[in-house]
Amino acid sequence: MKSIAIIGGGFAGLIAAITAAGQNPDCKITIFERLDRCGKKILATGNGRCNLSNRQAGKLENGRLLHYHGQAPSFANHALAAHSIDDMIDFFKQLSMPVRFEEEKLFPYSLTASTVLDVLRFTAASKGIRFCLSSPTSQIKLKNEKFIVDQQAFDRCVIACGGKASPHLGSDGSGYCLLTQFGHQLSPLYPAITQIKTDNTLVKQVKGLKIDAVVSALEKNHLTRKEFGQVLFTDYGLSGPPVLQLSAYVVKSPKNCMLSLDLAPDMPFHDLLSLLEQICKSPCMRDMKTDMLLSTLFHKRLGQIILKSTGFSLSTPVKNITQADRKKIAAAIKDFRLQVTGVQGFSNAQVTLGGILTKDFDDKTMESRLVPHLYAAGEILDITGDCGGYNLQWAFSSGCLAGEHAAKD
């Protein structure tokens, strides 16, 4: 009877185990998990709702996967096609878990992450998969073509230990050495899907305020990615969905990156300019100080930092503001610039950018090219998705391939 060790009981490990058991019910499958329970991170996903996947997961632009990063994101092409979002929907349907979409994003019908974990755990248990909990694996030995894990011998081994992000949820980076010990290489690691630190001189004055904005990431003044959504000002910089999404684009070279916020995205520059002119001429504003100029457009404190960013004295009377000044102010509203200084660390990050290089793995099977019968799946590999369900889809697709092939004769 074939035996398989799966190191890491996260989404990828559980999917690999269940797929292996489905492929070959005679396999003896053991999951080694460092925490006292499996899938703790799954419970935190999607703000507790578990955003399982995204219809855009396999989308290509100029032949490259649009929503995945890494030294060779195209490594994920086969897995994402072979075990796509539709396959994920079927997989959960067979386990009696219905799903639903919110726009392009896939969720469990219950909108509750614990449903997903329960379904996976109960299915694994019903298939006779053995759990070794509170069992951190620090070394795997290869002896007579068997993998020795915790003094037990296995025919196949799947490494699914995740990355370094959110270590309190299990993945503390200890899995990388299980692959590097066999000669696999690790790319530089960065925290991603996390808050961005910026020059905070102005933003800390509006800490706690939220606004819908288009946020553009610029590297050496070239646009790298643009996102729309709710931005939260904090004392260290910015947070909110569009900011988390952009973190992967600024993390490698923060000093060369700026964020540009369009704080009135629904208003073209010339409409804004006309509006500012109208405000300046209105009888109730003419004799006011400039600090009130933007108070009908934005929260007062936000209006003030926009004006400060243009170098305006807030005590200047509104009637003294010229057309050239108004152009400067409108430009600051449409392109509010912040110098990036870094991102929040791994403890706040949702994913790790970087990982074990994929060049030494077979993209059709997830098997190591260096060590036969050794497999890897999920975030431990150098494939990172954007925010929006792309990472769980990758963990699913790669986990299915690894489980399927590990269980084959």
Ligand X SMILES: Cc1cc2nc3c(=O)[nH]c(=O)nc-3n(C[C@H](O)[C@H](O)[C@H](O)COP(=O)(O)OP(=O)(O)OC[C@H]3O[C@@H](n4cnc5c(N)ncnc54)[C@H](O)[C@@H]3O)c2cc1C
Residues that bind ligand X (CB under 6 A): 7-13, 32-35, 40-41, 44-46, 50-51, 136-137, 160-162, 165-166, 169-171, 174-175, 350-351, 378-379, 389-392, 395
Backbone angles phi, psi at 358, to 5 degrees: -85, -10
Nearer to ligand X, 136 or 241 (CB): 136
CA dist., res. 165 & res. 163, Å (int): 6
Shortest distance in whole angstroms from residue 332 CB to ligand X = 34
For the beta carbon of residue 257, count every other beta carbon within 10 angstroms.
24
Question: Taking a C-beta distance cutoff of 8 angstroms, is the pair 244, 387 a contact?
Answer: yes
Q: What is the DSSP string of 244-309?
A: HHHHHHHTTSGGGEEEEEES-TTS-HHHHHHHHHHHHHSHHHHTSBGGGTTTTTS-HHHHHHHHHH
Nearer to ligand X, 232 or 292 (CB): 232
CA dist., res. 251 & res. 296, Å (int): 36
Backbone angles phi, psi at 257, to 5 degrees: -115, 145
Considering only CA atoms, give the Rg of the chain.
Answer: 25
Q: In Å, how far are 159, 304, 381 from 162, measured between CA atoms?
A: 9, 44, 8
Nearer to ligand X, 180 or 278 (CB): 180
- Among all residues, whose Cβ is closest to ligand X? 10
Shortest distance in whole angstroms from residue 178 CB to ligand X = 7
Nearer to ligand X, 191 or 303 (CB): 191
Shortest distance in whole angstroms from residue 389 CB to ligand X = 4
Shortest distance in whole angstroms from residue 191 CB to ligand X = 10
Q: Checking DSSP bridges between strand 156-159 and strand 3-7, what pairing results, if any?
A: parallel
Q: In Å, how far are 67, 190, 197, 302, 379 from 10, measured between CA atoms?
A: 22, 20, 30, 42, 10
CA dist., res. 384 & res. 76, Å (int): 10
H or E, element range at 159: strand 156-159
For 7, the token pair is 């190191």
For 244, the token pair is 């988390």
Shortest distance in whole angstroms from residue 35 CB to ligand X = 5
Question: Taking a C-beta distance cutoff of 8 angstroms, is the pair 4, 156 a contact?
Answer: yes
Nearer to ligand X, 206 or 366 (CB): 366
CA dist., res. 362 & res. 24, Å (int): 21
Nearer to ligand X, 167 or 265 (CB): 167
Nearer to ligand X, 124 or 160 (CB): 160
Shortest distance in whole angstroms from residue 89 CB to ligand X = 15
Shortest distance in whole angstroms from residue 74 CB to ligand X = 19
Question: Taking a C-beta distance cutoff of 8 angstroms, is the pair 171, 349 a contact?
Answer: no
CA dihedral 339, 341, 347, 348 (to 10 degrees): -10
Nearer to ligand X, 330 or 380 (CB): 380
Shortest distance in whole angstroms from residue 400 CB to ligand X = 12
For 36-50, letters b (16+ CB in 10 Å) and e give eebbbbbeebbeebb
Shortest distance in whole angstroms from residue 58 CB to ligand X = 14
Nearer to ligand X, 35 or 276 (CB): 35
Shortest distance in whole angstroms from residue 192 CB to ligand X = 10
Shortest distance in whole angstroms from residue 140 CB to ligand X = 10
Nearer to ligand X, 101 or 282 (CB): 101
Nearer to ligand X, 80 or 279 (CB): 80
